Amino acid sequence: MRFELTTSPLQTVRCDLAALPVSAPGSLGGHAAVFDRGSGGRLQAFATDEGFTGARGQTVLVQSPEAPARRILLVGTGDAGTTEDLRQYAAVVVRRARDLRCGRVLLLTASDPAASGPAPDERVRAVAEGAGLGVYRFDRYRSEAGEPFPAEIAICCGEDRGGALSRALEVGEITVRAVSQARDLVNEPPNVLTPTALAIVAQEIADRDGLDCKVLDLDEARALGMGLFAAVAAGSNEPPRFIVLEYRPEAQRASGAPVPMVALVGKGITFDSGGLAIKSPDKMWRQKADMGGAAAIVAAIGALRALAAPVRVLGVIAAAENMISGSATRPGDIVRSLSGKTVEILNTDGEGRLVLADGLSYAARARPDVIIDVATLTAAAAAALGSRTAALMGTDQPLIDRLLRAAELGGEQLWQLPLYDEFRDAMRGDLADLKNTSFGSDGGGAEKAAAFLQQFVGATPWAHVDIGRAAFTVEPDALPYLSSGGTGYGVRTLLRYLAA
């Protein structure tokens, strides 16, 4: 799909579909009024007859075979006027355009050019993201792949002062590619996307963008002291991979001058059976998505060179399978971590926090300015916040505030939860320094998991993003730009944070 910006008068743009965003209560003002006047008022009359109210996602299609735009689509955007409204508007349009087999589509960045609201560059970026994400398909295993409709997207905008809108469009396209790559990784079947395959993807990104990449095998990880990582991988025939990616800004590569360093740590469990604490079989197939945090980090780092991100980024991915065999870790085993702390493994289905613990310790040794981990860690996060919202916890409020703002700009839902002393106390071991779970019905599962992870970051400012079920959806149309499967959650937030 190809994007372009256009400043031509709307009524002169030739296209198969002109999509007009209309806010509640559905009266055709602004840009829509131009088309309405051109139709002698018939467009408004038709919308009224159809009961069009401008509610978000509501549409009315009108044929106009004699006009430059062969069809006109009225799309409700609600009454909020946010960039997320525009993101969803664009996704609604491209999905409808695909059904109509439209080759060229005109999208607007505002219902009224005189309206206040987000800056013009943010509007362009949101529309590009919504359109690009809306046409996403994962059909590589289908015998017949769908046709690529629409082929061209023309985005109507104002004057491009200093190229700001062109850059916003470019950034939107880069973001779409990164999110789509994360979705692809999550959607791959677990017999294809193994820890080794994920390491190959990371190496390909490094080779393409001039990044440093190091991949440790099981023996190397054990030699370093990663007992928790090795314990999780013990039950699988698939060898684990501990992946380290590093991006350095061009200026630092040239001069060697120090720049702020962010460490990203991702949970990369490419399939999670639960180990000996085996999961319920009816939903186990979804556990291929247990590497959603790793997918988001790998894809985000792969976009940093194109975005010219100004910070140094260290990506640490602990990739393994959690399986069942005679060599699998048993409930009750005690294992020593890379940090030296010992952990009593009471529940083998609490494997994510184990691999993350060694990943966080490894990242902390590099002395970054901040550490952020992203993981499909608990069902408790979804129980508290729903399936589209991730939980955020950490030790540094300025870092947390920046991530919350980044998520808001990126259109991802993120909510802060507390880390009280009682959660840390609950993770103290009876026979070892720590235990990997706290059985009981007193709740706080997401917070206790985070409190466990906190023991491995030292004094480094740290934030934990528990993407729970937000990384994967079984709803066919959870949002206009989300189909069932991997969502790529976290990529937009990370890119907003890293490339600001």
**What distance in Å separates the CA atoms of residue 374 and residue 359, rounded to the nearest whole number?**
11
On whether the CB atoms of residues 84 and 411 are closer than 8 A, the answer is yes
Between the CA of residue 267 and those of 164, 200, 255, what are the distances in Å?
36, 17, 33
Residue type, 194: T
**What distance in Å separates the CA atoms of residue 365 and residue 437, rounded to the nearest whole number?**
25
How many Cβ atoms from other residues are within 10 Å of residue 380's Cβ?
A: 19
Instruction: Order the strands of the 462-466 sheet from edge to edge.
Output: 212-216, 241-247, 312-322, 261-272, 370-375, 462-466, 389-394, 413-416
**What distance in Å separates the CA atoms of residue 97 and residue 18, rounded to the nearest whole number?**
10
Burial 414-444 (b: 16+ CB within 10 A, else e): beebebeeebbebbeeeebbbbbbbeeeeeb
Look up residue 212 and give its two tokens.
């440093």
Task: Find the distance separating the first CA and the last CA of the chain, reported in whole Å.
Answer: 26
How many Cβ atoms from other residues are within 10 Å of residue 59's Cβ?
A: 16
Task: Indicate if 288 belongs to the active site.
Answer: no
Burial 275-290 (b: 16+ CB within 10 A, else e): bbbeeeeeeeebbbbb
User: Residue by residue, what is the 3-state secondary structure of 436-467?
Assistant: CCCCCCCCCHHHHHHHHHHCCCCCCCEEEEEC
Task: Indicate if 56 belongs to the active site.
Answer: no
Catalytic residue among 177, 279, 405, 424: 279
Catalytic residue among 71, 341, 353, 435: 353
Q: Which residues contact 380 (CB under 8 A, 6 or more apart)?
A: 443, 444, 445, 446, 449, 468
Residue type, 106: L
The CA-based dihedral angle spanning residues 335, 337, 343, 344, taken in that order and rounded to the nearest 10 degrees: -20
Burial 293-319 (b: 16+ CB within 10 A, else e): bbbbbbbbbbbbbbbebebbbbbbbbb
DSSP one-letter string for 290-304: GGHHHHHHHHHHTTH
Q: Which residues are known to be catalytic?
A: 279, 353
